Amino acid sequence: MPAAREGIRTIVCNGHPEVQVRRENFVSIQRVIGVLVNELPEEGLIPTLINTYWTKGTAVVVCQDEGTRN
C-alpha cells in the first residue's frame, strides 16, 4: 500500500502574525469545515482530513491528498 501524500492548509487572520486565530475561533473553524464537507455531493472527491490543530495563532489542517487540500 503506498504511503499517503499529505497536504497542509494553514488558516490565518488578515494581519497575521499580529492578529492571530484565537482558540475559540479554531473550534468554529473546525465546525465550519465539517459542515462544508457534509454538504459536498456524494459523487466525486471525498475529502479526507488527517488532523486539525491550533498552533502559534494559526489553524492547521492536514489533508490526505492534494485534492482535499485544494
Give the model confidence (pLDDT) of 28-50 as tens digits. Answer: 999 998 898 888 888 888 888 88
pTM confidence score: 0.73
Residues 6+ apart with CB under 8 A from 25: 59
- Cα dist from 10 to 1, 19, 55, 64, whole Å: 28, 14, 10, 14
pLDDT tens, 11-31?
Answer: 888 998 899 999 889 999 999
d(CA 5, CA 64): 6
pLDDT at 4: 44
